[in-house]
Amino acid sequence: MIDEGRAAMESWHLPDEELRRYGERTLAPPVLWSVEAHLTACAHCRHRLAAGQPAVLRDGWERLDAELDAPVPGAVERLLTRAGVAGHTARLLAATPVLRLSWLAAVVSTLALTAVLAAVLHPVVFLAAAPLLPVCGVALSFGPRADPTYEIAVVAPMHTFRLLLLRCVAVLSATTALSAVASLAVPDIGLAALGWFLPALTLTLLSLALTARLGPVLAAACVGLGWIAVVVSTRGAGATGSTVFVPAGQLASAVAAVLAAVVLARIHRAFESPRRFR
């Protein structure tokens, strides 16, 4: 039966008119069905269709090609877009190095290590280390050496300063969330386990304010070393190991954060010149 059917199909071929209308997609059922059935079985007519309709085929391939080449937004980008962030902003944010899995993994392992050291040695290890994470993250997020999207960022139709702030928010949100979880590992000191939060904000703002003058890497290094010097020089016998983490120290940190924010607001135009970051 099958051989008979095939033999019958090969004994006739689709008329040129039907083939042309099939290629133009203007055929209606039931003629369309019978043409498709014939094309499935007849290589000769498939060749005729391909030869007669190069434009239709090429268009089809081009559409497929464009679909395959279209960038697929990552999980972070999709999440940001769903949260109402504009598409181009979401893409720039998602390209922030700190939001990449490798950097988040580095942050998590640093926090885990300091939490263990805090449990074994002293809580001050964790409290002193956590504020340094966003500072490193910001330096990584805005350095021409570290950031593969740096050139895009500089020519993007968005102010460099706004992009810097956007990325700072992204970095701070990520490190704050992770540090908050890690704080559970130092339960002995109660709420003081969150003493890293204000210093993290202060150090990030300070390093931003210095970035305009020193560049992101040197600014982060200065702020980091300065912070370590402050923690060491204010060390005490209390549960947190340093007066930075008692209420008076937290107040001083908040004042410093406000001052850094004021300086930042005054000098923000300095960020619009890309040469500052070379």
Span 178-217, contacts to Zn ion by CB under 5 A: none
For Zn ion, the closer CB: 42 or 95: 42
For Zn ion, the closer CB: 44 or 145: 44
Q: How far is CA 215 from CA 161, 186, 209, in A?
A: 13, 35, 10
Span 162-181, contacts to Zn ion by CB under 5 A: none
> Cβ of residue 80: shortest distance to Zn ion, in angstroms?
53
Residue 99 binds Zn ion (CB under 5 A): no
> Cβ of residue 42: shortest distance to Zn ion, in angstroms?
3
CA 138 to chain CA mean position, Å: 13
Tally Cβ neighbours within 10 Å of residue 204.
Answer: 26
Q: Which long-range contacts (CB under 8 A, 24 or more apart) does 160-166 make?
A: 160/271, 160/272, 160/274, 161/268, 161/269, 161/271, 161/272, 163/92, 164/208, 164/211, 164/271, 166/89, 166/92, 166/93
From residue 29 to residue 58, what is the string marking binding to Zn ion with x (rule CB under 5 A)? -------------x-xx-------------
Residue 13 binds Zn ion (CB under 5 A): yes
* Residue 27 DSSP code: -
For Zn ion, the closer CB: 12 or 61: 12
> Cβ of residue 10: shortest distance to Zn ion, in angstroms?
7
| Contacting positions for Zn ion (CB under 5 A) | 13, 42, 44-45
